[in-house]
Amino acid sequence: MVRHKDEYEEPGPSRSQVKREMAALQKLAEELVGLGPELAKKAPLTGDLMDAVLESFRMKKHEARRRHFQYIGKLMRDVDPQPIMDYVELIKSGRQAQTGAFHEVERWRDRLVEGDDGLMDELIARFESMDIQRFRQLVRNARKELKTGKKPKSSRELFRLLRSMQEQADEENN
């Protein structure tokens, strides 16, 4: 019997492609576990997959964890990984935004302590609900602490004030 070209089956993915896909699923499993148990519990996972992810938090030995991530990757082959990838990316982007906001507040505090009075006026205008007297006093005290070499108590308190004002402004904008 002679086969015609249209009778041949489409070849499946190559072995190399299957290995790349498995490696990507294992990496996704590692990222998911890297979020920690509280965030992993909130991920869109099915029963067996959720159990396997939670089990990985109890494992301490490197080789056991590596094999377990392979197992989680195998379980992920049976589900659509896109919702899991979206969840991990959402958490990561939220953390990056938090880190960026944290660094911005640190820069403000450092500039204020170094004597940037223009920034002080700008922040007072930006955060209308801020206790201006307390803010100015914290800046003054933080500058004194820097000059005298004392512990940065007021500097820390200034940071907390600025961070709370920024969070409050973010909540009002959302």
Q: pLDDT tens for residues 18-72?
A: 888 888 888 888 888 888 888 878 878 778 888 888 888 888 888 888 888 888 8
Domain boundaries, the chain: 15-79, 95-173
If you ran DSSP here, which 8-state letter would residue 2 be given? P
Task: Tell me the C-alpha distance between 52 and 73, whole Å.
Answer: 10
CA distance 134 to 139: 9
Residue whose token pair is 């307390």: 134
The DSSP element (H or E) to which 115 belongs, if any, is: none
pTM, to two decimals? 0.53
**Fold observed for domain 15-79:** Diphtheria Toxin Repressor; domain 2 (1.10.60)
**Digit-coded pLDDT (tens) for 73-126:** 888 888 887 888 888 888 887 777 778 888 888 998 999 988 888 888 888 888
Structure tokens at 124: 């007072």
Q: Does the domain spanning 95-173 belong to CATH 3.30.1540.10?
A: no
CA angle 112, 117, 120 (to 5 degrees): 70
In single-letter form, the type of residue at position 137 comes to: Q
Examine domains 15-79 and 95-173 and report if their fold is the same.
Answer: yes
* Dist CA 29 CA 67 (whole Å): 12
CA 154 to chain centre: 29
Using CB atoms within 10 A of its CB, is residue 81 exposed (0-12), middle (13-18) or buried (19+)? middle
